[in-house]
Chains A and B, each alone.
Chain A
């Protein structure tokens, strides 16, 4: 500590998101069994706005007032802790300009990285959808099974007990085991979920803590129309691959009817609120009642149960203590280098404190500090972890830090159904089609997951806004094309029939897809901005025509065979021309100025980011090819844990938060077992 006496902590965690919160909670609970009481500091780069219910409500109001309702719209931007913006994704080809002039990410291309994250207390769980699918057994052994990517140092069976704890003790997952129809399993869903915990689950018969979230009317309509159909796709080695379609309810961290013995966790500071999902239809960007899990819930529990302030008469070391310090941006992992006899270790963590709204409070010491601890955890998001390590020149003997950046590039397809299916009601998605998540085809192309969207064309076309603007028209002659009862009636005919699917493609790890730092690109606080090189592999691109063809067959079955023509290079400006006729059919199209165009096999596609930022400090058994071990412990600096989605060597087709949470629980156990006993 250079400039003021900061107390020594057992654990310093960088990042007040889900991984950091889960590790803090787990370490405290496991250590307590051995009568150990750690003192923990959590450093959060963003604001701590929402640790009370009334302040959380200001996020909701900000979302309602936001002109552009992107995932980060409720959460205030800061120059000191800037966050990526999905609106800042511009075409990269043809730009001579310095990419550093744009946004927060310095996008070097050739593809822009299309996902964001949130730098506020609670992290990106503030605006996640809540999907909690486990990874499939083959997802952990891609090299062995399909000769692609890499194997994980652990397998599904090893992670299973942590999945169970994540579902029960942290996230609160709503699902029915018998409705989980995944491909590539030898047995039934019941066998896939079979638990070793026979104390909690009679004969290992697993169930989730809450019953599934009811499937939307749209899901039921889909199931009625397409369940049992076969989709045939052209193969390489095999002439044809067939997939039997079954609509499957998706597990989510969203409050539903609890099983016996499970206590539903409501809103932070207002436990009566959010006991059930109420159908606000805005999981992204914000659940107004917190019926969906966010990391604030775990953080709130920590500061209530384990406040750092000791009460009168309490002795230090008799209970665990947690401090959350917001507006504190980690800038350097201070460490010693390895010698011939010893590994290096982290000796301190430097951070800067900032005050966006003016000068620091009177008497506040200088704004840069170095804090010391027994053990350090970086839990700041995959991209933030990588930039911090690279800027600190730490933990990178393998040269893998920042590499293997992955996402689930989304191919969106959308259409107008022949019937009113009640779009714009319910959670963003309640079901999917898991048929394409695994199979022999993964030797040739990546797997994908199919998410059925409940919010019409909101994602691809920013409806219902653009539908209104299109029907009202008048941009050229100033005369409304439709108004009054006609307009109202037409909207009622069109909006509830809007339908869209996201084909979430698994991305494979590639060393060239990477985050780096350059001294010329820094933010207002002087911290390095992420410089990103990003592209899609041919292996991944090969699943684009498959997803498009599967979509075509599915749309045909749903009565949307008619491909509604769209001018190939028409910029998206509603009202420019005569309104669309809105006949039933397939409306999928890509604007010519789309920044995320992909050309493959003579066709052009456009992909979107899924917000699944994965793979920048991958785990592995071999220190020369991986950054952390299976406990997310740095190979180079053993008192440093680098945690989160960045540790995942491959991505599979599951949204990564559940797996990240399982890994964090495992890390928490490890820290409690090994680090505190010294």
Chain B
């Protein structure tokens, strides 16, 4: 986005910023999975456009505040999203979605208060989502059944994980 932040915020851009914060993978890594659009749509399918809009607004304000104060712990984001009963459970779902490629339903307690859509059931979003699960990269491995690293690669020392 650069310095000229648009007056009408780009929701997918904010979604990516939130995802970076939740996963510990940077924009390039997340973009490289090809899943940003799909997961953006998934979020909207689960909690609806209006609620997602609220999440984006709160998250962006918090991220802006963290940036302005140059906070390394991103305390404002944590308070506004992770620890917030309204957005915390959604953030949980997004972390699992990015890491595992599957949507785990929002908790019953959350649904009682804020509701969710009929699509909010456990499911694998797509074969690609499975293959792009961040857990495999975090483990220094590759998804089981895809992206094979080549004959004999398993005999080599593991790459150090960050």
Contacts and interface: CB of A to CB of B under 8 A. Distances in A.
Interface of A: 60-61, 63-67, 69, 214-217, 220, 256, 276-282, 286, 288-289, 420-427, 430, 454-456, 458, 464-465, 467-469, 472, 474-475, 477-480, 483-489, 491-493, 495-496
A658 B138 CA distance: 37
Contact of B145 (A217, A280, A491): A280
Given A423-B139, A492-B162, A66 B124 contact: yes
Contact of B95 (A66, A276, A483, A496): A483
Q: Which 10 A-B pairs have the closest CB atoms?
A: A426-B154, A492-B161, A422-B158, A282-B145, A488-B24, A278-B148, A424-B141, A64-B127, A495-B139, A485-B24
Contact of A214 (B85, B104, B155): B155
Nearest to B26: A485
Contacts of A65: 124, 126-127, 130
A217 B156 contact: yes
A232 B140 CA distance: 36
9 contacts: A60-B145, A65-B127, A67-B123, A280-B144, A280-B145, A424-B136, A478-B88, A485-B24, A487-B24
B61 interface: no
Given A468-B100, A472-B92, A483-B22, A492 B151 contact: no
A281 B82 contact: no
Interface in B86-134: 88-89, 91-92, 95-96, 99-100, 102, 104, 107, 109-110, 122-124, 126-127, 130-131, 134
Given A67-B102, A478-B109, A487 B23 contact: yes
A300 B36 CA distance: 41
Given A67-B102, A423-B139, A454 B154 contact: yes
Contact of A480 (B92, B123, B148, B162): B92
A646 to B, nearest CB: 31
Given A67-B102, A277-B151, A478-B89, A496 B24 contact: no
Nearest to B138: A491
A155 B26 CA distance: 62
A480 B157 contact: no
**Which of under 10, 10 to 19, 20 to 34, or 35 or more describes the interface residues of B?**
35 or more
Contacts of B150: 278-279
A484 B21 contact: yes
Contact of B89 (A60, A67, A256, A474): A474
Contact of A282 (B138, B144, B157): B144
Nearest to B154: A426
Given A281-B154, A478-B107, 8 more contacts: A279-B142, A474-B89, A478-B109, A483-B23, A484-B21, A491-B99, A491-B135, A496-B139
Contacts of A216: 154-155
B135 to A, nearest CB: 5
B155 A424 contact: no
Contacts of B153: 279, 425-426
Nearest to B135: A464
A82 B152 CA distance: 38
Nearest to A477: B88
Contacts of A491: 99, 135, 138-139, 161
A230 B78 CA distance: 53
B58 interface: no
Contacts of A483: 21-24, 82, 91, 95
A75 to B, nearest CB: 14
B155 A420 contact: no
B41 interface: no
Max chain B C-beta neighbours (<10 A), residue from A281, A289, A478: A478
Nearest to B83: A479
B13 to A, nearest CB: 18
B25 interface: yes
Contact of B158 (A69, A421, A430, A487): A421
A313 to B, nearest CB: 45
A276 B22 CA distance: 39
Contacts of A456: 139
Contacts of B2: none
Given A422-B158, A474-B89, A468 B124 contact: no
Nearest to B159: A422
A9 B160 CA distance: 61
B24 to A, nearest CB: 4
B82 A464 contact: no
Contacts of B152: 214, 279
